[in-house]
Structure 1
């Protein structure tokens, strides 16, 4: 069963000005994606952010995938 990133990622206007973040933390999704883009391993990210789990990292990737697959209807 595919992971639902909505179980792990939230956005509320009162924390980080509404930027998507890992639920229960102030860690923005963009930070985790930046680490991944810089070729950090899951293990390195988890050592840097001990409050995170592998599921959090996977949720960030699924979130990014959903954003990238957004399609517009051609006029």
Structure 2
């Protein structure tokens, strides 16, 4: 999936948070909503400019961000 077709990061939009292109719908909001148990269908109904493909792109964006995250073990 080409994330750049759906996600953009611009400092003048939502303070540079990743958003669905052409909207102010943040990847963060999509992830929070899904994590809180909201259904994809409910998100699509609540945000008519959102698409299933854009939601998938937001999830893929999060996966890619976590892949590059560094984890530092802490001695217990």
Normalised to the residue count of structure 2, the TM-score between the two structures is: 0.85
1:14 aligned partner: 12
Residues 1-75 of structure 1: pairs in structure 2 closer than 5 A: 3-70=1-68, 72=70
Equivalenced residues, count = 71
Q: Name stretches of at least 5 consecutive residues in structure 2 with no aligned partner.
A: 71-76
In the alignment, the residues of structure 2 paired with residue 54 and residue 26 of structure 1 have an alpha-carbon distance, to the nearest angstrom, of 16
Please say which structure displays the higher CA radius of gyration.
2
Q: Name stretches of at least 5 consecutive residues in structure 1 with no aligned partner.
A: none
What is the CA-CA distance between 1:71 and the residue it aligns to?
A: 5.5
The 1:66/1:17 distance shift into structure 2, 3 A limit, reads same
